[in-house]
Amino acid sequence: MTNPNKAKGSQWERDIVAYLQANGFPYAERRFGAGAKLDKGDIVGIPGVTIEAKNHAKFALSDWLAQAEIERENAGNKHGVVIVKRRGKATKEGYVVMSLETFVEMMEE
């Protein structure tokens, strides 16, 4: 039987990918092998961006951002962000969490 928390996380990743594909990012896809020693994020296909997807009842933003930063370095990307599921809300209402530095860099581009 599948771990229910893993299933929720996998569904959230699929939801994010579907939303990104429908909104101008046709190459977005789930990266398989997440959790590997050199994890490179959960979602790929947006050049220069590492995406870590989180679907948890309790938020641990600093831990998640630290994880996204490690995965960004592993992937060799410029930016790392976390996309967080909001309880009872549509995918488009999820939170995108990043450092202020990342936000400024992305806005400058």
Confidence category of residue 32, pLDDT binned at 50, 70, 90: confident
Q: What is the DSSP string of 5-33?
A: HHHHHHHHHHHHHHHHHHTT-TT-EEPTT
What is the pLDDT at residue 33?
A: 65
Rounded to the nearest 5 degrees, what angle is found at the Cα of 72, between the Cα atoms of 25 and 12?
50
Domain span at residue 73 reads 4-108
Confidence category of residue 107, pLDDT binned at 50, 70, 90: very high
Contact (CB, 8 A) for 46 and 20: yes
Please report, for the domain that includes residue 47, its CATH number: 3.40.1350.10
Domain count, the chain: 1
In terms of Cα–Cα distance, which of 48, 41, 36 is closest to 17?
41
Mean pLDDT of 55-72: 96
What is the pLDDT at residue 81?
A: 98
* Residue 74, helix vs strand vs coil: helix
Confidence category of residue 69, pLDDT binned at 50, 70, 90: very high
The pTM of the whole model exceeds 0.85: yes
